[in-house]
Structure 1
Amino acid sequence: MGVNGSSQSAALQPPPHSEEIKVTFPQEHVMLLTLNRPKALNAVSPTMQGDIERVLDWFDNEPGLWCRAVIVNGEGRIFCAGADLIAWNRRQNRGEGDNNEDIIAQKHGFAGISRRSTSGKPIIAAVHGGAYGGGMEIILNCDLVIASDEAVFALPEVKRGVVAIAGGMPRLARIAGHQLASEMLLLGKPIKASDAASRFGFVNKVVPKSELLSTALAWAAEITSSSPDSVQSTKRALMLTNQYAHVEDVVAAHVQSKESRRQFEGDNIKKRKPVWTNPAKL
């Protein structure tokens, strides 16, 4: 479990985790979380699920941690093939398979990301190869999605006898609209990165594969050059738009949020030169 990056980042110690994920700090205030089951196409196992949840909870809540953005990517040929169906079948055979109650009980959804709503720090997905099923549901809940030009995306659950219920359906419908969401969900066919950006709207930028990580790091650097109080308050407002239908309800909830109060009361709002300080613990 190596920690790379600057001298500040070198002191950071994420919680213990298996080799199914890698956690590094490639530049100041940025964490890189890599899905690390390349032989299984980064399919999410119960172990990986627990690892991601613990690391992201730590990332969100560690008082001394001034990381302000996380990049999620995948080792090997693709970003993520979804759930580990071998492990899922084993649980089914033991009578331990997921049911509707289990899905509701998953606080943060698939891979600890697909329904994560508590984080005030931006999540950037850097997608190569493909994102399928649960892997697609992960990126639909990320704040920014950068894809390589050879990446493909699919929600093929209807062809497998299951449903994309871990947060993917409502988010895709909000982003793409009912008809385009239906095209992906009811046909179950893969789409190209270019279509994901131009037609469906859930990819922000398409780049050559060789530029994928560098682009994600550059975007993270832009985020971390701004006030951390303002960034986290802004993300809270964005997340609240998924919970409330009316603008006034979003505004009222945001003004009353911890992030908004901290932003108005903190030292960073007083600064006119961008020399940001660590935001106070919420």
Structure 2
Amino acid sequence: MSTNEVRVQRVGSTLLITIDRPQARNSVNAAVATGLAAALDELEADTALRAGVLTGAKGTFSAGMDLKAALKGESPNIPGRGFGGLTEAELTKPLIAAVEGFAVGGGFELALGCDLIVAAEDAHFGLPEVKRGLIAAGGGVIRLPKRIPYHLAMEFLLTGEPVSGARAGELGLANRVTPPGETVAVALGLAEQIAHNAPLALAAVKNLVRTADGVPEADAFAVQRRVMDTLMASADVREGMTAFAERRTPEWTGK
């Protein structure tokens, strides 16, 4: 489902999702949030799709919340799904951010809501909310200290100053750093690599990483045992083992 603000394109088994408001630096208003939520629903519902790539049109990822729209009473949040319909959504399929240009404020938080980040070396990542009397409430304050060392995360959050895509790679925020204009191609390549793997196993990894966050190890292992019992009873596990023994590529069914 494409809208005027969010475009989707199927590239093999990947759904390429593009925020398309370049005149507003792809900032997020109510229409963008609704469009992103619909695109993510499409990704989740279609068994032929294995992963998603999120990017922005014309060289900018997203400048975050559309402040002009917010002042008019528009909300960039979707109930139960958070900012942009993404930051609090519990997706089962991998999502990769392809960041060109600015990913600041809520734009950075959209990237943090993805599983992998591909950044152009001249991209800009920042959380400037404190400069406007706010905090990075779309996941920045919560997620960033879990992704990079505490003191480095606090520099982002307390100064509001941005860093380049190259620096994001050095900090471990970005999985890949590319020359400008190449992030989507690299992200699609990563998505293709992911798509070779069993969809049930990919969903299980995401579920366990989310479940194990902040809970005692014993509880996390208890959940993992239940997940493994389910996986071991699946047709995909049998197919994976059979394909390995027969030295062929597995044919996943997601069952």
Same fold by TM (over 0.5)? yes
Q: Distance in 2 between matches of 1:89 and 1:267?
A: 52
Note closer, same or farther for the CA distance 1:262–1:57 as it changes in structure 2 (3 Å cut). Answer: farther
Extract unaligned runs of 5+ from structure 2: 244-248
The size of the alignment, in residue pairs, is 248
- Asked whether the equivalents of residues 20 and 36 of structure 1 are also in contact (C-alpha less than 8 Å), the reply is yes
CA deviations 1:231-272 (Å, max 9, x no partner) are 111121122233x33222222223335xx5542221111123
For residue 111 of structure 1, what is the amino acid of its counterpart? G
Corresponding position of 1:47: 31
The question of whether the paired residues in 1 share the 8 Å contact of 2:29 and 2:75 is answered with no
Deviation at 1:43, TM superposition (A): 0.3
Match of 2:246 in 1: none
Inter-CA distance 58–213: structure 2 relative to 1 (3 Å threshold): closer
**2:177 match:** 206
1:204 and 1:151 map into 2 onto residues whose CA distance is 14
Q: Which residue number corresponds to residue 111 of structure 2?
A: 139
Given residue 21 of structure 1, which amino acid in structure 2 is its aligned partner?
Answer: V
Indicate the larger mover: 82-91 or 169-178: 169-178
Match of 1:210, SS? coil
Contact 2:59–2:181, Cα closer than 8 Å, also in 1: no
TM-superposed deviation, 1:97: 6.8
* Structure 1 residue aligned with 2:197: 226
- Residue of structure 1 equivalent to 2:224: 254
Aligned residue for 1:245? 215
Cα separation, partners in 2 of 1:166 and 1:267, compared to 1, 3 Å: same
Structure 1 contact 80–131 (Cα < 8 Å) conserved: yes
Q: Partner amino acid for 1:163?
A: I
Task: Give the residue type in structure 1 aligned to 2:197.
Answer: S
Which residue is 1:115 aligned to?
A: 88
Q: Structure 1 counterpart of 2:113, which letter?
A: N
Does the 8 Å contact 2:148/2:173 carry over to 1? yes
Matched residues, percent identical? 31
1:56 to 32, 40, 43: 40
Structure 1 residue 195 corresponds to structure 2 residue 167 = yes
Query: Is 1:265 matched with 2:247?
Result: no
Looking at structure 1, the residues matched to 58 and 230 of structure 2 have their Cα atoms a distance apart, in angstroms, of: 41
CA distance in 1: counterparts of 2:182 and 2:26, whole angstroms: 21
Q: Counterpart of 1:153 in 2: which secondary structure? A: strand
Q: In 1, are the aligned partners of 2:43 and 2:51 still within 8 Å (CA)?
A: no
Q: CA RMSD in A?
A: 1.9
User: Any conservation in 2 of the 1:155–1:185 contact (CA below 8 Å)?
Assistant: yes
Which segment is superposed worse, 246-255 or 171-180? 246-255
Structure 1: distance between partners of 2:81 and 2:226: 23
Long gaps (5+) in structure 1: 1-13
Deviation track 1:196-236 (CA, whole Å, cap 9, x = no partner) reads 1212x221110112322211111111100111121111121
Once the two structures are superposed, residues 71-97 of structure 1 have per-residue CA deviations (whole angstroms, 9 ceiling, x without a partner) of: 000001310000111100111xxxx77
Cα pair distance change 1:265/1:205, threshold 3 Å = same
What is the rounded CA distance, in whole Å, between the counterparts of 1:111 and 1:261 in structure 2?
35
Name the SS for the 1:275 alignment partner.
coil
In 1, are the aligned partners of 2:30 and 2:75 still within 8 Å (CA)?
A: no
Equivalences for residues 27-38 of structure 1 within 5 A: 27=12, 29-38=13-22
Partner residue of 1:182?
Answer: 154
The answer as to whether partners of 1:79 and 1:128 remain within 8 angstroms in 2 is yes
